[in-house]
Chain A
Amino acid sequence: MFGSSTIVSVKKANILQDDAVILKDINFEIEKGEFCYLIGRTGSGKSSLLKTLYADLPFKQGEIKVANFEINKISRSKIPLLRRKIGIIFQDFQLLNDRSVYDNLLFVLKATGWSEPSKIKIRITDVLVKVGLSGLASKMPHQLSGGEQQRIVVARALLNEPLILLADEPTGNLDPEVSEDIMRIFFEINKSGTAVLMATHNHQLIDKYPSRILKVEQGKVLDSAKGEFTYAKQ
């Protein structure tokens, strides 16, 4: 079942928050290079699901494998290694506010074992070019607009060439035009073989760029690929 091309595999999993089961007996898989939306009402458990995938919520009931790490068995010391395999895009950015954009990216590279200055410089320039912000390297995060900060977060997520991007409402606070920019970047990344799982409320985007959808509803996850529901255009 679990081939080398399967990035995320969730089997009979219960997602808990503070001992309360919010998603029960969920099953789905995401293959290499897939683009997948995650939709559902606010508070339905989308964020909890994503957090469980990057081991920010304790998970014990069921089986989840992400990038070959077994989340139900993962030890505290292995969590950083898991997070290096996945690019995470946070709704609240999680930039290090005490240092410049360049140093934010530098921190991630240093933390993940990069040591050669020339390679580091090239890599940082690369990702900044990819998100179209090469001129902002010396700015502090608080000097940037929301859209720019979000693109920096995307750049950061790309640094270590992740197998999958997990994005939690990346366009949540952004205007439609900036949202489109971010989406275009996502698709570009996706084309190069990185899977994307994106939680969103933005139905215009789904209408415009249709793809597989996972819908979180009443404690269940419904998969459009398995025909468990059909998405109605709005």
Chain B
Amino acid sequence: MSKHTPYKKKKLGSYPAFTVVFSITISLFVIGLFAMLLLHANKLSEVIKENIELNVYLKKDIAPRQVDSLKSVIGRMPFVMRKNMQPQIFHVSKEEAAKKFIAETGEDFSQVLTDNPLRESFVVKINRNYFEKQKLADAAEQIKIMQDVFEVSYPINLVSEINANIRLIGLVLIGFSLILLLTTVLLIRNTIKLALYSQRFLIRSMQLVGAKSGFIQRPFLWHATVQGFFSGLIAVILLAILLQYAYSQIPQLDRLKELQKVLSVFGILTFSGILIGLASSFQAVSKYLRMSLDDLY
């Protein structure tokens, strides 16, 4: 076809493809940014939950055999987190506890006291299903009544606080993303509708020379698909660059990295670019196809 058109396309009144791609890209980018935020916040709460632990202090002067049997008894409890089938329960000897104490406080009590006043303990990691104030209290109680157990402690205030905050932040984030999603869809729809508005008389002329609706629609839908795809692609590239930058600037963020989920968000983003573009242009062209001449003016 192009060999018959050595002249450049008329600029005025032609389909503003660049504007459309730009708008869709921006919209998808913002949505993607929000999705990344949600993803990382979610992972953060998981990391926090995984790090909640019970400290089980043992009575003094217990035989190592008893310590081992106690460890395996606690290990069988349902609230203990398991990794690769292994219960996450660790023994901390008096000496290790002393070392840790000295490292944390900077006070070397061994110079004052002849005896190590600290107790042997277990650090028990908790299954995240038990990450609730009451359930944790029950779990602690179950351990506490065992023989040889002196005391069970856990950061009770931290638990309820984190729980409340996660719920609140999650609700706010999801609420915002729903509003954002709606705004984005409307924005893209409007952009495409406006872009196609410039084509309404062209569409009418096509109808008048006997072209069927489907035939008229096809190129518009194809354009929208291509534009949606490229918008999605550009948005994804921008997001990837931003994410990479964030990881390089904030090393701790690396712990929250979930490549697979990020990649699927990228895929969904590109796909929704295509889908929203396609649906919007279908809607707009159908509308102009149904309009009478008087309504077009």
A interface residues with partner B (beta carbon < 8 Å): 18, 54, 56, 77, 79-84, 88, 90, 94-100, 102-103, 106-108, 110-112, 137-140, 142-143, 156, 160
Q: Tell me, rounded to whole Å, the shortest Cβ–Cβ distance linking A140 to chain B.
A: 5
Q: Tell me, rounded to whole Å, the shortest Cβ–Cβ distance linking B228 to chain A.
A: 21
What A residues does B212 contact at CB under 8 A? 77, 80, 111
Do A84 and B210 have beta carbons less than 8 Å apart? Answer: yes
Do A96 and B4 have beta carbons less than 8 Å apart? Answer: no
Do B206 and A111 have beta carbons less than 8 Å apart? Answer: yes
Q: Tell me, rounded to whole Å, the shortest Cβ–Cβ distance linking A80 to chain B.
A: 5
Do A156 and B208 have beta carbons less than 8 Å apart? Answer: no
Do B202 and A97 have beta carbons less than 8 Å apart? Answer: yes
What B residues does A96 contact at CB under 8 A? 202, 205-206
- Known contacts: A94-B205, A103-B4. The answer to whether A140 contacts B210 by CB under 8 A is no
Do A98 and B4 have beta carbons less than 8 Å apart? Answer: no
Contact with A along B10-39 (1 / 0, CB 8 A): 100110000000000000000000000000
What A residues does B13 contact at CB under 8 A? 97-98
Do A103 and B1 have beta carbons less than 8 Å apart? Answer: yes
Q: Tell me, rounded to whole Å, the shortest Cβ–Cβ distance linking B292 to chain A.
A: 8
Do B208 and A111 have beta carbons less than 8 Å apart? Answer: no
Do B205 and A95 have beta carbons less than 8 Å apart? Answer: yes
B interface residues with partner A (beta carbon < 8 Å): 1, 4-7, 9-10, 13-14, 202, 204-213, 215-216, 293-294
What A residues does B9 contact at CB under 8 A? 98
- Known contacts: A96-B202, A98-B10, A140-B10. The answer to whether A111 contacts B211 by CB under 8 A is yes
Contact among B14, B209, B215 for A98, CB-based, below 8 A: B14
Do B208 and A94 have beta carbons less than 8 Å apart? Answer: yes
For A112, give the chain B residue with the smallest CB separation.
Answer: B210
Do B215 and A111 have beta carbons less than 8 Å apart? Answer: yes
Contact among A79, A81, A97, A138 for B10, CB-based, below 8 A: A97
What B residues does A143 contact at CB under 8 A? 7
Q: Tell me, rounded to whole Å, the shortest Cβ–Cβ distance linking A114 to chain B.
A: 12
- Known contacts: A100-B5, A102-B4, A137-B4. The answer to whether A142 contacts B10 by CB under 8 A is yes
Roughly how many angstroms separate A83 CA and B212 CA in the complex, as a whole number?
10
Do B209 and A111 have beta carbons less than 8 Å apart? Answer: yes
Of the A-B pairs whose beta carbons lie under 8 Å apart in the complex, a sample of 13, sorted by A's number, is A18-B294, A79-B207, A83-B210, A94-B204, A94-B208, A94-B209, A96-B202, A97-B13, A98-B202, A106-B1, A107-B206, A111-B209, A111-B215
- Known contacts: A94-B205, A97-B202, A98-B10. The answer to whether A80 contacts B211 by CB under 8 A is yes
Roughly how many angstroms separate A95 CA and B279 CA in the complex, as a whole number?
28
Roughly how many angstroms separate A84 CA and B205 CA in the complex, as a whole number?
14
Do B10 and A88 have beta carbons less than 8 Å apart? Answer: no
For A17, give the chain B residue with the smallest CB separation.
Answer: B294
Roughly how many angstroms separate A96 CA and B6 CA in the complex, as a whole number?
17
Do B208 and A107 have beta carbons less than 8 Å apart? Answer: no
For B9, give the chain A residue with the smallest CB separation.
Answer: A98
- Known contacts: A56-B293, A96-B202, A98-B14. The answer to whether A108 contacts B6 by CB under 8 A is no
What A residues does B207 contact at CB under 8 A? 79-80
Do A140 and B7 have beta carbons less than 8 Å apart? Answer: yes
Q: Tell me, rounded to whole Å, the shortest Cβ–Cβ distance linking B201 to chain A.
A: 8
For B294, give the chain A residue with the smallest CB separation.
Answer: A18
What B residues does A90 contact at CB under 8 A? 208
Q: Tell me, rounded to whole Å, the shortest Cβ–Cβ distance linking A141 to chain B.
A: 9
For A85, give the chain B residue with the smallest CB separation.
Answer: B210
What B residues does A160 contact at CB under 8 A? 210
Roughly how many angstroms separate A99 CA and B209 CA in the complex, as a whole number?
15
Roughly how many angstroms separate A156 CA and B215 CA in the complex, as a whole number?
18
Q: Tell me, rounded to whole Å, the shortest Cβ–Cβ distance linking A157 to chain B.
A: 8
Roughly how many angstroms separate A133 CA and B10 CA in the complex, as a whole number?
22
Roughly how many angstroms separate A96 CA and B14 CA in the complex, as a whole number?
11
Roughly how many angstroms separate A83 CA and B293 CA in the complex, as a whole number?
17
Roughly how many angstroms separate A137 CA and B212 CA in the complex, as a whole number?
25
What A residues does B5 contact at CB under 8 A? 99-100, 102-103, 138, 140
What B residues does A138 contact at CB under 8 A? 4-7
Roughly how many angstroms separate A18 CA and B293 CA in the complex, as a whole number?
12
Q: A111-B215, A138-B6, A160-B210 are in contact. List 12 more A-B contacts (CB 8 A).
A: A54-B208, A80-B212, A97-B202, A98-B10, A98-B13, A98-B202, A102-B5, A107-B209, A108-B209, A139-B7, A140-B10, A156-B209
Do A88 and B208 have beta carbons less than 8 Å apart? Answer: yes
Roughly how many angstroms separate A108 CA and B208 CA in the complex, as a whole number?
10
What A residues does B293 contact at CB under 8 A? 56
For A143, give the chain B residue with the smallest CB separation.
Answer: B7
